[in-house]
Structure 1
């Protein structure tokens, strides 16, 4: 299927919405395939750079796992295009949404892109500076936790929420990196970051036991996750909880 149809989840949906709003091509930075055009036909696969999960790349390689080296190999694969390919889509901005693990994986590759590409790059994400090469620091737009007051969401979709906000409210102005950053600061200046509840961390094994103890035939993953967060005060990212919920169901825990 096409890359645009393969990937799912709220964060990817926000990225697709941003591309549609901007009438721009969509690309995927893929841990398995490299840089993939949205319309490219790709194989279905399950790979992630997250550790300690069944689809983790680090569990499938011999020796130490280096995300940067891995991504360089993926970029050389048959499904990937190079960063220079983005010049074919016109002279507009290149908007890149990254989580910290993906910044660590793809940052060196992006930093080595042709200068005409780098000049147009704007990067969205939380706490990315330490995860990116210095050459990309000026491309990171200054979105912070005040975004939660403008466009509420979860930590896992922060980058895509920031990207969509930029497309909807800022991208219409003339292309200038300093002006783009100033416009983001101005948009955020009218808001304060909402208070985040302090939640405790629990292991996958502990969470799985909790889920198994509460799951019923009519239970929904979203409902159990909300209970876990709001009632028990336990921190759990949405994708992580979905994986554990599926494991509980597959284990026959539904009474």
Structure 2
């Protein structure tokens, strides 16, 4: 059996962790509670100690929320494969692993690593190297690929998580690289080391002109769904995959972006409050309502904070 034939029937999906998590507020391991003085390796050691000390609460698949994670799960089910998560706080974890409640991200937001990395003059990949060294090599990308030999590994990651695992990607062997495909944005591809650029797929914003439109935060996972469901990409060689994606993008047109009005937090909260029951409080639908019906400019992180504030207010009244 050829490698191509094996990969057509055997695949894993690798996605990123999300800021939205189902977890109790009790016993959450957060960067704010860890001493961050000293070199990065020392901070990583303290973080790893806190993570190991925490009691695992739920399987990873039941913790992460949001469209990006749901899309990755959907592709995994289509391929009858397994799902794996790149976690800024836990390294590589399997969807079936029981993990502790934690709050740490390489993206913007509360408990973000960015301020610490800037302060120390370090890159996200430096944190990843220090973290996986402390947690054990089994939490690295090369170890994941070694555990799944002769399997196609489909990585769907935003730029911030490509930057996080860049050193791991640079360390891969040619054999390992031949059986991975990387789906990310134009921006995400700028973080890729040279050795894996040829297995990155040329998806771009023209995808928004298809039935797979969405938000920037779930771009990679939506593109992966398109790659599998529309193009049957898991059956293609790296060269065929790149050419097929490029051709699909040429047949799509990026939709015109409407001009949206800036509003204050109070004004946005008033709109959300008025339409909360209309959309059953669903955050994705409310964000689409704001942007598409009211033509309000609201960045996703800002919207998420306002939505949580309103949800807490309504729960208190409720």
Q: Hey, what's the Cα distance between the residues in 2 that align with 1:222 and 1:178?
A: 36
2:297 to 221, 234, 242: 234
Asked if the contact 2:91–2:128 (Cα under 8 Å) also holds between the matched residues in 1, the reply is yes
Question: 1:163, CA displacement in angstroms?
Answer: 1.0
Is the alpha carbon distance of 1:222 and 1:142 closer, same or farther for their aligned partners in structure 2, counting shifts above 3 Å? closer
Q: Hey, what's the Cα distance between the residues in 2 that align with 1:47 and 1:232?
A: 32
Question: 1:81, CA displacement in angstroms?
Answer: 4.5
Q: CA deviation digits over 1:80-124, x for unaligned, max 9?
A: 244233233241321101111111122222221233212212110
Question: 1:73, CA displacement in angstroms?
Answer: 2.2
Matches within 5 A, 1:26-65: 26-51=83-108, 53-59=109-115, 63-64=119-120
Q: More helix per residue: 1 or 2?
A: 2
Deviates more, 1:57-66 or 1:67-76: 57-66
Give the TM-score normalised by structure 1: 0.83
2:161 to 86, 99, 102: 102
Q: Hey, what's the Cα distance between the residues in 1 that align with 2:139 and 2:214?
A: 30
1:225 and 2:287 equivalent? yes
2:204 to 110, 131, 144: 144
Q: More strand per residue: 1 or 2?
A: 2
2:253 aligned partner = 192
Is the alpha carbon distance of 1:190 and 1:227 closer, same or farther for their aligned partners in structure 2, counting shifts above 3 Å? closer
Q: Hey, what's the Cα distance between the residues in 2 that align with 1:137 and 1:101?
A: 16
**Ranges in structure 1 where 5+ consecutive residues have no aligned partner:** none
1:69 and 2:132 equivalent? no
**Ranges in structure 2 where 5+ consecutive residues have no aligned partner:** 1-57
Give the TM-score normalised by structure 2: 0.68
Flag the structure with more relative contact order, 1 or 2, with Cα contacts below 8 A and sequence separation at least 6: 2
2:233 aligned partner = 171
Structure 1 moving runs of 4+ over 6 Å: 251-255
Q: CA deviation digits over 1:123-182, x for unaligned, max 9?
A: 101112322222221121111222223322222111001111222232353x52111111
2:54 aligned partner = none
Matched residue of 2:181: which SS?
strand
Matched residue of 2:233: which SS?
coil
Matched residue of 2:102: which SS?
coil
Q: Compute the RMSD of aligned alpha carbons.
A: 2.9
Is the alpha carbon distance of 1:124 and 1:172 closer, same or farther for their aligned partners in structure 2, counting shifts above 3 Å? closer
Matched residue of 1:146: which SS?
helix
